[in-house]
């Protein structure tokens, strides 16, 4: 009789673990349409950027490799319709936050 007991217990644990995920996924459906409209406007690129230069900070590590390749190949400036990108590398998060708060980064 003890061998039959773990199966219902495991099933109950699986349902209990899955229930919050299912409820979370269903909770934000009504707001999605409003955000989609904004995303479509941003994706079309109809609006011109007003800044002549954008100052960005990054960490020179593997997690930012995609952005570094985009900078090196000029893809980011192309997507920003010719806005100049001024990159600055940081070794740690606190120094980048200081630069953001001080206005050195956009």
| 43 vs 103: CA distance, rounded Å | 27
∠ CA(64), CA(66), CA(69), 5° rounding? 110
pLDDT at 13: 83
pLDDT at 63: 83
The one-digit pLDDT tens for each residue of the chain (106 residues) are 455 566 788 888 888 888 777 767 665 555 555 555 555 555 555 555 568 899 988 888 888 888 888 888 989 888 888 889 899 999 888 888 999 999 999 8
pLDDT at 8: 80
**89 and 72 within one domain:** yes
**55 and 105 within one domain:** yes
pLDDT at 40: 56
Counting the structural domains of the chain, the total is 2
**97 and 71 within one domain:** yes
pLDDT at 55: 92
Q: What is the extent of the structural domain holding 38? A: 1-47
**21 and 43 within one domain:** yes
Per the listing, tokens 């003890």 go with 2
**59 and 106 within one domain:** yes
- The residues near 71 (Cβ < 8 Å, ≥ 6 apart) are 85, 87
**75 and 42 within one domain:** no
């Amino acid at each position: 009789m003890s061998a039959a007991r773990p199966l219902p217990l495991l099933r109950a644990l699986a349902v209990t673990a899955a229930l919050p995920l299912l409820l979370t996924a269903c909770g934000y459906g009504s707001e999605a349409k409003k955000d989609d409209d904004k995303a479509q406007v941003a994706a079309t690129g109809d609006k011109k950027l007003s800044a002549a230069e954008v100052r960005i900070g990054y960490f020179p590590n593997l997690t930012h490799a995609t952005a570094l390749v985009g900078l090196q190949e000029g893809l980011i400036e192309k997507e920003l319709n010719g806005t100049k990108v001024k990159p600055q590398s940081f070794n740690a998060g606190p120094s980048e936050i200081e630069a953001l708060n001080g206005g050195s980064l956009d």
